[in-house]
Amino acid sequence: MRPGRLYNCFMDKKRFFFALFFFFMSGFVFSGCNAPGADRASRTAGNSADQSESQPQLTILLTELPNAVSLVGPLTEAGATVADALFDGPFDQVNGQEIPVIFSEINVETIPVQVSVGDPVYDADERVESLRPDTPVVPANGAAVCGYSGCAVSFDALPPGAALELDQVQATFRLRDDLRWADGTALTSADAALAYVLFGPGLAVSERTAAYEIVDERTVRWRGIPGYVPNRLADVFVAPIPAKEALNRTRDDLLADPAFMSRPLGWGAYRFAADQPESADAIVLERNPYYFGEAPAYDRLVFSARGRGEDQFVYALENGAATVTQSGVDFSGRIEPLLEDVRDRKLSASIYPSLDTVEIAFNYASANGTLRDFFANAENRVALTQCVDRPRLIREILYGQSEVPIGAYPSFHALNSRGNGYIGPDPAAARLTLSQNGGTGLSLILTYFEDETNRRTAEFVRDAWRDCGLTVETEGIPLSEIGRIRAGRFDALLTARSGGERLPCRAWLSSPLSGNSTDGGGIHFGGYRSAEADALCVAARFAGGIGSDLAMADLAQSFLTSEAISLPLYFEPRFALTTADVCGVRSVIGMRSILWNVEWLRPAGSGESCYAPQWNDIYR
């Protein structure tokens, strides 16, 4: 048995987050439970508003009033924004770091177990199946079996009589003693276990689970099947539901119950106010007196729908007070006037790169043999990358509000590759390579899905490739023609690829998986095939488990970047706006919504301005 990883602290994560945020932005990584100031006494005085005086309400602008705000079902961006006020945790994902919230202790143990043919296992293709002699799996002692950690091997490849051991993970979760539902009743292990029984079968974790049990009134234990090493504890802990409301009811019954889905009982900083508007054009929350943390500064939160027109959001902010917008509103079509408003202090903005990448996919399986051979040569792909001045593209089209992807994660993410493999702009070297490899004059079409930002981006790349000697045209197509793209009828494609907390390299596997597109799977437009990339992807994804060494993930990112398998242009930026009289707003990668730290938000004091935009100031 390898030593268990112990999280032992009261995880009121925002009590130390702001002290650490700039370390995260600089690439430093801290484990939540080992971070300084994690105890309850460490909350700074800056957030301790005088609770004897009634504080003004905070208004949150949504695109729509959500029908569901419970954690047991899928959430829209608007639904997640309301849910974050009702539920604090169970975990927060902060720029690649997982921070437990509702637990006093979590203990994780990894145990090598011997498996035999017929046993249920999690294989190297990330599928649950009964072990066969030829099933590829990732052995517990990979370095001894095949030379490196995270390798894939099968039973029939081992010496006769050799045992096969896989890692089996066990996680024990102890809930905080002061954790209460918003009606004052204790939140117990029975609530967590019932949530798993009812809603676990709808999640991937269910088939990857060997056992889930109640240990005592405040403790539950999960054990996975051999081979499955979760990357996040949140992947194996289902958010609790109040057993008193759900006992003797079915999953489908609860999902169809409007009261359970739209007015759930939570444990977070706020709860539903009794005096909801009769017109049903807003949702009103009030402080939860049973919240385990300090009382938030705002008495009430009022959620109001403004539709999907970004101008309505900006107008409301410029002419209002104590207002925050949900994140995820698409301001890409008006970035310049938005930044001018931020510069002029008419509003404050939180703009940050997401994990989703806008990139050029090359068609490695093109029916055009000349193009197919051209893309197969890594030197040509590197040259195409060198042709494009990506920092300049970001400045001109996104007004500097993103960064060039070097690997799968932005520079301030805990899993970023620290610049390894980066290919910078060098048109002169690119022209020389292309002329030597017969690429000068090569004709191709760059296809994009119709959108103004996509059009400008495609034309920028087209002009850069033309300057390198290629003959390039662009074509915009409606999204309804995606079937043509899936059939491989394109030369090069401007597309957006979803990222994920796990290394999203499944898009380039020779045998693509039909997994969750938000985890980098199910997207295989280019038809790239490489045994080396396959092996690195498997090793990197399996090496990224809880408490694991991330060196293999760094190696895989460096390889994928230096080989220029695609041409990543920028991380898609995300936006949230606020008036300058709201303090504490901060976006992070992995947050459920802009209200992930709602208990830290507070009104500006007398003479104080909370104008603190999170953006790349292009006006300096």
Spatial distance between the Cα atoms of 196 and 368, rounded to a whole number of angstroms: 51
Res 509: pLDDT: 67
Say if 459 falls within a structural domain: yes
What letter represents residue 453's amino acid?
Answer: T
Q: Other CB atoms closer than 10 Å to residue 617's CB: what's the count?
A: 10
302 with 384, same domain: the answer is no
Residues 550 and 427 in one domain: yes
Whether 273 is in a domain gets the answer yes
In the three-class reduction of DSSP (H, G, I as helix; E, B as strand; rest coil), residue 365 is classed as coil
Residues 483 and 583 in one domain: no
CB-based burial label for 318 (10 Å; 0-12, 13-18, 19+) = middle
Tracing tokens 């008419």 back to the chain, one arrives at: 346
Residue 188 burial (C-beta neighbours within 10 Å; 0-12, 13-18, 19+) = buried
Beta strands at 323-325 and 58-62: parallel, antiparallel or unpaired: parallel
Backbone angles phi, psi at 106, to 5 degrees: -135, 130
Give the number of domains in the chain: 3
Quick check: is 254 in a domain?
Answer: no
- We report the CATH number of the domain holding residue 435 as 3.10.105.10
CA angle 517, 522, 525 (to 5 degrees): 115
Q: 280 in helix, strand or coil?
A: coil
CA distance 355 to 122: 26
Question: Same domain, yes or no, for 37 and 50?
Answer: yes
SS (H, E, C) 218-270: CEEEEEECCCCCCCCHHHCCCCCCCHHHHCCCCHHHHHCCHHHHHCCCCCCCE
CA 438 vs. chain centroid, Å, equals: 41
Rounded Cα–Cα distance for residues 377 and 369 (Å): 13
Alpha carbon 93 to its chain centroid, in Å, reads: 8
Give the CATH number for residue 6.
3.40.190.10
- The pLDDT score that the predictor gives to residue 4 is 46
Judge whether 152 lies within some domain: yes
b/e sequence 152-161, b meaning 16+ C-beta within 10 Å: bbbbeeeeee
Is residue 618, in this structure, part of any structural domain at all?
no
As a residue count, the chain comes to 620
Helix pair angle (427-436, 378-387), 10° resolution:
150
d(CA 524, CA 513): 9
What distance in Å separates the CA atoms of residue 379 and residue 430, rounded to the nearest whole number?
9
pLDDT of residue 513: 46
In 3-state terms, what secondary structure has residue 472?
Answer: strand
Minimal CA–CA distance to 441: which of 499, 363, 374, 503? 374
Is there a domain that residue 252 lies in? no
Render 378-424 in DSSP notation, one character per residue.
HHHHHHHHHHS-HHHHHHHHSTT-S---SSSS-TTSTT--TTTT---
User: pLDDT, tens digit, for every residue of 438-453?
Assistant: 999 999 999 999 999 9
Give the model's pLDDT for residue 14: 44
- Three-state SS letters, 94-120: ECCEEEECCEEEEEEEEEEEEECCCCE
Q: What is the pLDDT of residue 279?
A: 73
Does residue 262 form part of some domain? no
CA distances 48 to 44, 228, 294, 330, Å, are 7, 43, 8, 34
Q: Looking at the structure, tell me whether residues 426 and 335 fall in a common domain.
A: no
Q: Verify that 74 and 122 share a domain, yes or no.
A: no
Name, in order, each residue with C-beta under 8 angstroms of 417's C-beta and a sequence gap of 6 or more: 406, 407, 408, 409, 554, 557, 558, 561
- The answer to whether residues 382 and 502 belong to one domain is yes
Residues 196, 223 contacting (CB under 8 angstroms): no
pLDDT for 236 equals 94
Residue of 232, 207, 233 lying closest to 122 (CA atoms): 207
- 232 plus 343 within the same structural domain: no
* 159 in the same domain as 194: yes
- Per-residue pLDDT tens over the stretch 108-136: 999 999 999 999 999 988 899 999 999 99
Q: Is residue 619 part of a domain?
A: no
Are 116 and 220 part of one and the same domain?
yes
Task: Measure the CA–CA gap between 399 and 59, rounded to whole angstroms.
Answer: 29
Quote the CA–CA distance of 353 and 376 in Å, as a whole number: 30
Check whether residue 492 and residue 554 sit in a common domain: yes
Mark out the alpha helices in 70-220 (DSSP H runs). 77-86, 142-146, 189-199, 204-207
CB 505 within 8 A of CB 565: no
Question: Which residues of the chain are modeled with pLDDT < 50?
Answer: 1-52, 513-523
* CATH code for the domain in which residue 156 is found: 3.90.76
Domain shared by 583 and 542, yes or no: no
Residue 140: strand, helix, or coil:
coil
Q: Which of 447, 433, 439 is closest to 469 using CA atoms?
A: 439
Amino acid at 562: S
Q: For the whole model, what pTM was predicted?
A: 0.86
Give the per-residue pLDDT at 561. 85
Quote the pLDDT of residue 30: 26
- Expressed as residue numbers, the domain containing 134 is 103-244
